Amino acid sequence: MAEKQKMKISDKLKIGFLLAYFLILTVERVISLVSVFLGDFSAYDALDWYMTALTLFALFGAYVYLITRCELFTKSYNGEGASTIVSPKNFGRLSIAAGILLLGGMVHTDGTIPGIQFTSYGMILVSMAVHTAVQVRENGGGLKRWLSFAYIVAFSMSIPVVYHSYIELSWLFIPLECVVSAGMVILFTIMLKHFYEGDGEYSFSIVPFLVMTIGDAAVIYLRWDEEINFFVLIFASLAAVLWIVGKLLRAAKKQ
């Protein structure tokens, strides 16, 4: 009888870090919601309630999706016996759940703890790095795959967090930052899904790039006199450089 094989260490690491992201960000978001509901409701404005509602939706939606649509492990059978794996499809669905939860992580509600949030996001990045390393080992092409990894990371870091603003054009800025933030989270989720379901190489699509460039530029410009968002500015600039390099490499490959 064939011997049962163990799940790959790389699969354990990838899924372990993704699940750590869910756990850490969930704890942080719950702490924030407790702070919100124990606060002074009379002081909250429409943006506060939007951010609270989005956080509640993100938590509820992410875990409903996890429970109803996600399988953590899959049995694979071959000539050497049965093995437990985390298939690309498993990772793709986990990416969607991660993106739903991230919608609630990109709003600055009362009680937000940025350090814990960044730690949770770091778990996704480590999982992505493991996936990239495995794909490079198995398929080669280290430059294009690590470049893809770096671009997706820079893109994710360029997503603006929704904050209050008291500029003269706040009536324009606040809806804009909400749309740009949520829109970029959705695009990042799609990128992450394809990243895990594929071989770690990104196509450097122009649509997410244009949304990032135009959206981030508008958000940074409108709030420039109140506060310059250097974090978003730096990572959006880095992502733009990486996108151009990636496009040039793909064009050279086709020649």
pLDDT in tens, 32-47: 999 999 999 899 999 9
DSSP β-ladder status, 74-78 and 81-85: antiparallel
When pLDDT is cut at 50, 70 and 90, the band that residue 11 belongs to is: confident
In degrees, rounded to 5, the angle at the alpha carbon of residue 8 between the alpha carbons of residues 6 and 14 is 135
When pLDDT is cut at 50, 70 and 90, the band that residue 121 belongs to is: very high
Range of weakest confidence among 46-55, 65-74, 125-134: 65-74
pTM: 0.91
DSSP state of 255: -
When pLDDT is cut at 50, 70 and 90, the band that residue 1 belongs to is: very low
Percentage of the chain beyond pLDDT 90 is 78
pLDDT number for residue 70: 78
Range of weakest confidence among 40-44, 179-183, 212-216, 242-246: 40-44
* Residue whose structure tokens are 């003269």: 168
pLDDT number for residue 84: 54
Q: H-helix or E-strand containing 214?
A: helix 206-222
The dihedral region occupied by 111, where left means phi > 0, alpha psi between -120 and 50, and beta the remainder, is left
Between CA 215 and CA 146 the distance in angstroms is 26
Mean pLDDT, rounded, for 192-221? 95
Q: Which two tokens stand for residue 39?
A: 């606060």
Mean pLDDT, rounded, for 175-203? 95
pLDDT number for residue 130: 96
pLDDT number for residue 171: 94
Among 116, 90, 123, 89, smallest CA distance to 13 is for: 123
The residue with greater pLDDT, 187 or 91, is: 187
Q: What is the mean pLDDT of the chain?
A: 91
pLDDT number for residue 12: 87
The b/e string for 92-123 (b: 16+ C-beta within 10 A; e otherwise) is: bbbbbbbbbbbbbbbbbbbbbeeebbeebbeb
Mean pLDDT, rounded, for 87-102? 91
Q: With the CA atoms of 107, 25, 103 and 15 taken in that order, what torsion angle do they form, in degrees rounded to the nearest 10?
A: 160
pLDDT number for residue 76: 55
